[in-house]
Structure formats: structure tokens, C-alpha cells
Chains A and B, each alone.
Chain A
Amino acid sequence: MMRRLRPSAAMGLTVAALALVLLPQIVSNPFAVDIFIRVLLFAFIGVAWNLLGGYAKQLSLGHAAFFGLGAYTSTILLIRYGVSPWIGIVAGGVVAMLASLPIGALCFRLRGAYFAIATIATAQVLMLLFLKFRNFAWGAEGTTIPNLGNSPWMMQFDAKAAYYYIALVLLAIGLAITSWVERSWMGYYLVALGEDQDAAEAVGVNVPRIKRHIYLISAFLTGLAGTFYVQYIYFIDPNTVFNFNVSVEAALVSIVGGIGTLWGPVVGTVLLEPTSALVQSWLGGTHGGVQLTLYAVILMAVILWRPTGLLGVLTGAYERMVGAASGGTPATTSAVRKGAPLDG
């Protein structure tokens, strides 16, 4: 059921959406557009992760498994069978989704940190398998995606802006799904099980099934991201797509930005991606490890200072600003969703 937004919030959203659509037309510097694309992509991955890790609090550190499976599915279909990546991307999502069933069946037997470790293990196992898979998946060297020039039907574009728009659409899909889930009965069940799994079962929440379902959705979306990424960089190998860093970033942007919130992953990515890209271009070449050190420091700072993420801080600041300007007590974003289970 759609909830009415306050007029100012709806306006703000429209303006922002318009700005986003127009952005690549205004900014043409390819370095900048590349950053925008990465922000959109990792925000999307973060949103996908957030469904499982933010709302249901199943902290996966192995989402690279789905990223990689999506990427390899579409690439294998493309290179071996000439199938368009537009079909491949969906197929990749489906493969990732199906993989989440056995992975979940095993990993959900553990909770908390041990669940996280089990997910790390599964992503690692997949990486090892694909490193060995010479015949079907090119092994450790991976492969480049053959450059077909400007072929929209094969998801290859000369104009960087095209990739930007695809990523934007992906993010919009992710946000729409999250918003829908948040406002549905599933949202209540997810947050409840994230708060206290056993108590949730006591009131009839079919915890195993809900976990399974949200994992399916999260895996599917992450698989889509995998395909997009390899199409964008024209390259795939196990070390890139099953990389632990992908899993880390998927979790990180939500934690930093605001775990279990709609916009949290977006906020987190906007903060982290450009920063790390800039730092990388400054120091990256000569000093390996700078980016992750930075991430680690930011993560620790957030955990120690604001474990629920920065979104709460931002909405608090916004409230104080609006409150001062309008002179009255502003309705916060959460009040707009009165009676909804989530706060801010």
C-alpha cells in the first residue's frame, strides 16, 4: 500500500531524480562519469545486501558468490553461445538466486559471526572452483569480453552515459523492491526476525522460509550487478568477481550509511566510493592497501560512534535545519511512515 509522502519530500525526490537523469549530460569528464557509475553500481549491490543483512540482520560476507555467479553465467552464455547479455543478465540473476538455496540451507544453520564466516567460505569455494575450471570458464586468467564496438543489443556502448543509465535503472529497481518490501507484511517479518529470531518464531513468523525468500531476492539482484560489472569493464576472472572486497563493500556501504534503511546504502556509497577512488588515484599505485585501510578506519569509526550508520545522523541534522527554518517541529521521515516498523 503506497503511503503518501509529504509534499516537500516528494518534491525533493523528484528534483533529485531529475538531477540524476541529467547528470551525465552535464558532466562529460569520463573519470567523473566512471565514479558516478561505480557509485550507482555499488549502491545497488549495497541495496541488495541490505535486504538480507540490514533488515533481516543476516550478516553475509560472501555476496561476491552471487556477484561472480551472475557475471560468469552471462559471460559464458555470451562467449560460448552468443547469447545477448540482456538475456544473460537475467539468467545470471536466476543462477545466483538458485545458488542461494543450497548456500542458505547450509549457512543458515549458523548464526551471527559464524554465519558470516560460512558465507565467506562459500564465496571462497566458488573462487577456487572457478580458478580450476579451465574448460568451461577460462580458469585463473579469465577472459576479456570481445569488443563488438557500439552494440546496444549486446550491452556494449561507446557512450559511457549508457552504462550510467543502466546502473541508474538497476539502482532504481533495487530501491523500489526494498521500498515495497519495507512497506509490506514481509518488512515486519524481516525486521522482527532480525531483532530476535526465536521471538519472531513464537508469533508465527516462518523464519526459515522468510530467510530463504529474502536471500533469493538479494542473490538475484547481486547477480544482476555482476553481469553489469563485467560488461562495463570488458573483463572477467575469478579473482575479480569472487573477490572478498566485493563482499566487504556490499556490507560496508550499508553499515556506514544506515543499516536496514532504504537510503542507507546510497548514503554509504556516496561517501565511500568517491573517497576511495580519489585516494586510489592519489596514492593507489605506489601504496597498495590504502583504500582498504581507509575503509577499515571509517568502518571502525562508525561502529564505535554510530553503529546504526550515518543516516540517523544525517536525518537528525536535517531535522534540526528544517526545524530551525520553519520554526515548528518537523515531521521526520519516519513519522511520515507512522505505524510502520522502522525508524529513520
Chain B
Amino acid sequence: MAAVVAQALVNGLLIGGIYALVSIGVTLIFGVVKIVNFAQGEFVMIGMYISYWLAARVGLDPVASLVVSMPVLFAVGVLLQRFLIRRVLGLGDMPQIFLTFALSLLLINLALLLFTADYRTVDTSYSESAIHIGPVYVGVARLIAFGLAMLLSGALEVFLRATDLGKAMRAAAQNRDVAMLMGVNPEHVFSMAVGLSLALAGAAGSLIMPFYSVYPGVGQVFVLLAFVAVVLGTMGNVRGALIASLMMGMAESLGIQFVGADSGLIVVFAVLLLTLAIRPSGLFGRQTR
């Protein structure tokens, strides 16, 4: 029994690392640009399709295709900020929500038109292999994905703490007006934040290709879970998103193991509802009332 629980926890932790990349992206955009990117999952999907295409055409290993998907999505992010997001800043909740929401709808359905609803997979030499750590099987592909996800998260953390641009981002997140007075160029910072965020989403997509299928709607699963992790980890808090994602991954895994195959989502929602009921400001948030 303990072995079963341990296995579930390990699986959950590993996938949680991927969720972390997505939710960190969401919370980064939210913290810096102050909008919620409904389309974040679709950028994961794009990363996946890029890796799929490269694997099919050139035989490039999905993990290696990070070097393509990340820069491409970074550029997409910068363009997204420059041409779309910028137009709705300061207009209030409604335009911001529905812009990214419409984008999400657009991307999913364009993918549907272009690629059909078929599930596509990439098989690598290590897709099926696993190693033994004590009583637990650890999928090699998942382990690699987790490791790289943690590396990327760590790199982001270092970036935010140690570089000028990173500090500028944190400053803009905390107090945009004062940051501007201190010479921070908001446009530049926003573009970088969105770019990084989408690059992380793309990375997530590439990393999971060895063990996950891509189809137009795949992003939806990730994004819902990412959002719950963002709320649980306190909105705008990058470390919180990371920790919450790992927790969510494990919770989902336990749910699948002990409640049923499609109860993963129910677990996710249960976490959201519990968070709302008990501590709406998240694990790391300030309670003002």
C-alpha cells in the first residue's frame, strides 16, 4: 500500500514539474502585466506541435527541440504583447479577459482546422523505459522532463533575483508607477515577461511530447490546472506557483490512483473550491480582512 502511494506521489511530483512551467508563466504575466492569459495552455500546445513536427520531419528528439520551441514562443510572446495585449491594457477586466479568451478559442480551432482532432505522439527510444528507485518506477522521459522543468524554473528564479531586467520585472509587478519613476520601461518589461512566460509554456510542451499526445484541446487541461495552482500559490507569486503546482500534481495523481481514472479533474476542482472557501488569498497571500 505504501508503495502504491509512493508511486502515485512520485508520478504526481514529476508531472507537477510540468504544471509548474505553465503556472509560473501564468503567474508571471499576471504579476507583471496584470492580466490573466487564458491562452497559456494553447502555447503549450503550440510547443507540442512544433516538437511533433520537428520529430516527424527531422527526427529531432522533442527534448532537444526545446532550443527551437522556446525561442519561437518567446518571439510569439513579444509580438503578442506588442500587438494585442498592449491595446487592452488599462481598459478594465472585460476586454483583457476576453482578448486572451478569444485568442485561446482562435488557436484551438485553428489547430483543429489545420491538424484535425487526431491525437499525435512522438515515440522516442526512452519513451517506455523506466528506472527503479526503491519500490518506485520512475519513467525516464518524465524524469528528464521534471529535471529540465526544475532547471528552467530555477533559471527563471535566478533571472528574477539577480539580473537588472528581472528586478525591473519584479518592481513593475509590485508597483508599476514607482518602477516607471525609477526608469523602468514598462513596455520593454512587459514584452520580456510575456516572452519568457510563453517560452516556458513552449518548453513544457516540448518536454512532455515523449510521453503525452498532442491534440488541439490539450492545452485546456493544463491551463485549468495551472490556474488553480496560481490561485493556490497566491496570484503573482512565482515560487508559490511552483510549490502549488507540485502539490496539485501529487493531489491529482492520488485522485487518479484512489478515486478513478477521470477523477483527476475533480480533484483539481476540489482543491480550487477548498482554497476559495478557506483561504482565498492563497497559501502565501496577505489576509487584509
Contact = CB atoms under 8 A, between A and B. Distances in A.
A57 B116 CA distance: 36
Contacts of A121: 224, 228, 269, 272-273
A112 B95 CA distance: 11
A113 B276 contact: no
B227 A293 contact: no
A21 interface: no
A248 B105 contact: yes
B94 A259 contact: yes
A121 B106 CA distance: 21
B84 A128 contact: no
Contacts of B94: 57, 59, 255, 259, 307
A106 B228 CA distance: 14
B35 interface: yes
A57 B102 contact: no
Contact of B109 (A125, A289, A300): A289
B36 A113 contact: yes
A293 B95 contact: no
A58 to B, nearest CB: 10
Interface residues of B, number: 42
Given A59-B94, A112-B93, A113-B38, A296 B266 contact: no
Contacts of B101: 61, 299
Contacts of A7: none
A60 B96 CA distance: 14
A120 interface: yes
Contacts of B262: 128
A296 B272 contact: no
Interface of B: 35-36, 38, 84, 87-88, 91-99, 101-103, 105-106, 108-110, 112-113, 116-117, 216, 224, 227-228, 231, 235, 262, 265-266, 269, 272-273, 276-277, 280
Contacts of A61: 101
Interface residues of A, number: 38
15 contacts: A57-B94, A61-B101, A106-B273, A121-B224, A124-B224, A255-B98, A288-B113, A288-B116, A293-B105, A293-B110, A296-B103, A299-B98, A299-B101, A299-B102, A303-B88
Contact of A109 (B36, B38, B280): B280
A124 B265 contact: yes
A289 B276 CA distance: 34
Interface in A259-275: 259
Residue from B84, B88, B105, B269 whose CB has the most chain A CB atoms within 10 Å: B105
A162 interface: no
B99 A304 contact: yes
Contacts of B84: 300, 304
A125 B93 contact: no
Interface in A299-315: 299-300, 303-304, 307
B93 A304 contact: no
